[in-house]
Amino acid sequence: MTLSILAYAAFALSFVLSLIFLGEERLLRKHELGNMVWRLPPLELLERMSQSSVLVGLVSIAIGTALGFVSVDRLMGQYWFYDPKYVVTLFVLLLYALYFRLARTATWRGARASKLCIFNFVVVVLSFTVVNLYLSHSHRYF
Amino acid sequence: MEIVLVGLNHRTAPVEVREKVSFSAEQARRAADELRSRGILEETLVLSTCNRSEVYGVPPESSHECAPGLSSFLSEFHAVRPEALSGSLYHHYDREAVRHLFRVSAGLDSMLLGEAEILGQVREAYRFAHEQGATGPVLNRMFQGALEVGKRVRTETDLGTRPMSVASAGVKLAERIFGKLEERSALVLGAGAISEQVIAQLRGRGIANLFLMNRSRDRAEELARQYGGKVAGWGEWETALRAPDVVVSSVATEEPILGLEVVERAMEARKNRALFLMDLGMPRNIDAGVAKLYNVYVYNMDDLSDIVQQNRQARENEIPRAENIVEAHVGKFLSWQASVELVSLVDELRARVQEERNAFVKARMDSMAHLSEPDRLRMEGLMDELLEKLLLEPARKLRGEKELRRKIQNVEALRDLFLSKRDKP
């Protein structure tokens, strides 16, 4: 559970970094510098930090979910039962793994990867709200 | 303890005058020695840059009398007629002298507002004079304050952060994308004056690899020798554009040199790693369509000039904040100075009271012959006790209370009040 919180914190951080990246990238490309750009961190630094943050998130959510399966197995004698929360979490894991992979490829590096990262975090937030409140029965809180 | 400053700068003197009065390191040392050995100043420091020559000092007597002596020393030292300097020299004393120095090191007095070099020059001049032993407690404190002001203004305001020339604006922009340029490489097309400016900036920012390309290879090779770089053959775009992260182009040409296709192919080869293009040519060297490519940043002469213009405005807007820092530190320095003077004033006062007491006791005791010896001693003891009580309390307060010291601005007035003229050191 602590691991999952760490993971979501890391995803949140990469979300913020990606937002800053997109904003700064837009300003630089449109030549609208103003006062902001000179105070922001360099684009490539933001990109690298976002990727490392996602890596931390990926590792901790993978371990967290695995431990979750183990404890569920002990409690109930089976490691899998259908719960939307499981599905969404695995989906999030998949999405971030995808981001991590794509962020280094030719087509996606830069702004596109950052947009994906922002999209991913929107999914995370949805899994926290909609899925927890309406869909899942055993994951009311986390 | 007073401070005097005599000097001239780019506002008061044209370059013909400034160059006559500038000091080399050796001259600065000699001038400082002479000023002290002739008894004109007790502490001296010569600050000489291409835009200013200034002598800071602490004179033995009242500084208002020593300024003319300093001016004539300057004209004598540099063998310039006094009339030639009289219109250009400015004199500042105490608070004004301190404020002047602090504004100088903040970059507020520079020709190029907020430029960074002056802080290094002030540091160097101070180090030089300090090693020579020409400075004393007052100038040491003052110049340490000046360095602190310079540092604070540069970290807390935008006075010096934003680039003021097209070349530096371009290079600083590249840093917005790549961060430090120490592991990056750059390609410069053309070998004219503008290219050279950019190369100097790139080198100044620590670029790792520098490639040069020019239609005539000779000039490119000359630049490569001067700044350290490799010359690439003109027109070999396929290989030349693969490595560099920054490409600068300043070539006289009718047709764009870097067309859309060339850059497109280069981006493919680079796997879309970001590319920063600086087009300083007129007419433009880079096809307008290039700016639309993914992860490509193109800035041309007009864009960069606009940025420089904006930055000039932004720097000017920072002036009040920088002036506030200067004022705060001037106040700090003056209250330090006052506290040092106050402490010495209290010591003098003590000595004076002791002297008065001895004379007083001698005169009065003679007329009181009926007192026995122990009674006399007792009387003297009582008197000492009273005097100590009267003096000790304020002295302790002065040492302990910072706020009180700040309130007492004019130490000279206190001195006049308690000590008659003859006691003035």
Q: What is the pLDDT of residue A48?
A: 93
Length of chain B as a residue count: 425
Residues sharing a CB contact under 8 Å with residue A130, sequence separation 6 or more, in sequence order = none
- Helix-strand-coil split of chain B, %, nearest 5: 60, 10, 25
The beta-carbon neighbor of A44 closest among B173, B179, B271 is B179
CB distance B306–A31 less than 8 Å? yes
Gap from B186 CA to chain A (nearest CA, Å): 17
CB-CB under 8 Å, A107 with B272: yes
What is the average per-residue pLDDT within B183-190?
A: 93
Residues of B in contact with A105 (CB under 8 A): 271
pLDDT tier, B353 (very low <50, low <70, confident <90, very high otherwise): confident
Answer yes or no: do B17 and B98 share one domain: yes
User: Is residue B320 one of the residues assigned to a domain?
Assistant: no
Same domain membership, residue B343 and residue B297 = no
- How many Cα atoms sit within 13 Å of A35 on the Cβ side? 8
Total structural domains in chain B? Answer: 3
Those residues of chain B whose CB sits closer than 8 Å to some CB in chain A are 158, 161-162, 172-173, 175-179, 268, 271-274, 291, 294-295, 297, 299, 303, 306-307, 310, 314
Kindly state whether residues B290 and B380 are assigned to the same domain: no
Position B322 in a domain: no
Whether B63 has a pLDDT exceeding 60, the answer reads no
Buried b (16+ CB within 10 A) or exposed e, A15-54: bebbbbbbebbebbeebebeeebbebebbbbbbebbbebb
Give residues with Cβ within 8 angstroms of B65, minimum separation 6.
B59
Give the Cα separation of B149 and B103 in Å (integer).
8
Instruction: Measure Cα distances from B271 to B179, B217, B246 in Å.
Output: 19, 30, 15
Residue A22 lies in a domain: yes
Has residue B411 been placed in a domain?
yes
Nearest beta carbon to residue B177 from set A28, A33, A112: A28
Is residue A140 one of the residues assigned to a domain? no
Residue where a domain terminates, one of B111, B126, B160: B160
Domain match, B141 and B49 both: yes
Contact B94, B330 (CB under 8 A): no
**Residue B207, H or E segment:** none
pLDDT for res B310? 87
> Per the domain annotation, does B256 fall within a domain?
yes
Residue A141 belongs to some domain of the structure: no
Residue A46 inside a domain? The answer is: yes
Q: Any idea what the Cα angle at residue B303 is, between residues B298 and B305, rounded to 5°?
A: 135
Test the B interface: residue of A20, A25, A29, A33 with most B CBs within 10 Å: A33
- Tell me: the pLDDT tens digits for B300-309? 988 998 888 8
* Selected residue with higher pLDDT from B287 and B362: B287
Residue A43 · residue B274 · CB < 8 Å: yes
Residues B218 and B143 in one domain: no
Same domain? For B354 and B277 the reply is no
Please check whether residue B42 lies inside any domain of the structure: yes
Mean pLDDT, residues B36-41 taken together: 88
pLDDT confidence bin for A104, thresholds 50/70/90 = confident
Residues of chain B contacting A111 with CB distance shorter than 8 Å: 294-295
Which position has the token pair 């002990």? A74
Shortest Cα–Cα distance, A68 to chain B (Å): 39
Task: Kindly state whether residue B264 falls inside one of the protein's structural domains.
Answer: yes
**How many secondary structure helices (H) and strands (E) does chain B include?**
17, 10
CATH code of the domain containing B15:
3.30.460.30
Same domain, B153 and B39: yes
Contact B243, B252 (CB under 8 A): no
- Which SS3 state, helix, strand or coil, does residue B154 take? helix
Q: Are residues B8 and B153 in the same domain?
A: yes
> pTM of the predicted model, to two decimals?
0.69
Chain B residues whose CB is inside 8 A of the A110 CB are 272, 274, 294-295
Residue A96 inside a domain? The answer is yes
| Lowest-confidence region among A124-138, B234-248, B274-288 | A124-138
Whether the predicted pLDDT of B423 surpasses 70: no
Q: Do B176 and A24 touch (CB under 8 A)?
A: yes
Tell me what the mean pLDDT of segment B148-159 comes to. 91
Strand partners, B48: B53
Average pLDDT score over residue span B348-369:
82
Pick the last residue of a domain from B95, B127, B160: B160
Residues linked to residue B57 through DSSP beta bridges, in sequence order: B4, B44
Q: Are residues B210 and B228 in the same domain?
A: yes
Nearest-by-Cβ selection for A35 from B175, B295, B314: B314
Domain assignment present for A128: yes
Name which of B175, B273, B295 to mutate to probe chain A: the one with the most chain A Cβ atoms within 10 A of its Cβ: B295
pLDDT-derived band at A137 (thresholds 50, 70, 90) equals low
- A110/B274 Cβ within 8 A: yes
**Number of domains forming the structure of chain A:** 1
Q: Identify the band that residue A80 occupies on the pLDDT scale cut at 50, 70 and 90.
A: low
Length of chain A: 142
Pairs of residues, one from chain A and one from chain B, whose beta carbons lie less than 8 Å apart: 53
* Residue A71: per-residue pLDDT: 81
Note whether B337 and B289 are same-domain residues. Answer: no
Task: Tell me the catalytic residues of B.
Answer: 50
Lowest mean pLDDT of A133-137, B261-265, B280-284, name the range. Answer: A133-137
Would you place residue B111 in the very low, low, confident or very high pLDDT band (cuts 50, 70, 90)?
Answer: confident
Report the alpha-carbon distance of residue A61 to residue A142 in Å, rounded: 13
Average pLDDT for chain B = 87
Nearest-Cα distance to chain B for A16, in Å, is: 18
Distance CA(B52)–CA(B42), nearest Å, equals: 22
Point out the residue among B177, B179, B273 whose CB comes nearest to the CB of A109. Answer: B273
Q: Tens digits of per-residue pLDDT, B210-224? A: 999 998 889 999 999
Return the pLDDT at B424.
45
Q: Is the pLDDT score of A141 beyond 60?
A: no
Bigger pLDDT: B422 or B71? Answer: B71
Q: Which of B279, B314, B349 is the last residue of a domain?
A: B314
- Write down the pLDDT at residue A138: 59
Task: Report the residue from B158, B294, B297 with minimal CB separation from A28.
Answer: B297
Domain span at residue B46? 4-160
Contacts of A23 in chain B (CB under 8 A): none
Name the residue range of residue A94's domain: 2-135
What is the interface pTM, i.e. ipTM, of the complex? 0.83
Q: How confident is the model at residue A86 (pLDDT cuts 50, 70, 90)?
A: confident
Q: Say if residue B102's pLDDT is above 90.
A: yes
Q: Same domain for B121 and B174?
A: no
Q: Is residue B64 domain-resident?
A: yes
Q: Could you give the 3-state DSSP secondary structure of residue B12?
A: coil
Say what the pLDDT of residue B420 is.
64
Rounded Cα distance, B66 and B44, in Å: 13
With pLDDT > 70 as the criterion, what percentage of chain B qualifies?
Answer: 97
The answer as to whether B319 is a domain residue is no
- Residue B422, pLDDT > 60, answer no
Question: Which of B159, B176, B299 is the mutation pick for testing A, counting most A CBs within 10 A?
Answer: B176
Same structural domain, B128 and B185: no
State the pLDDT at residue A135.
65
Answer whether A110 sits within 8 Å of B295, measured CB to CB.
yes
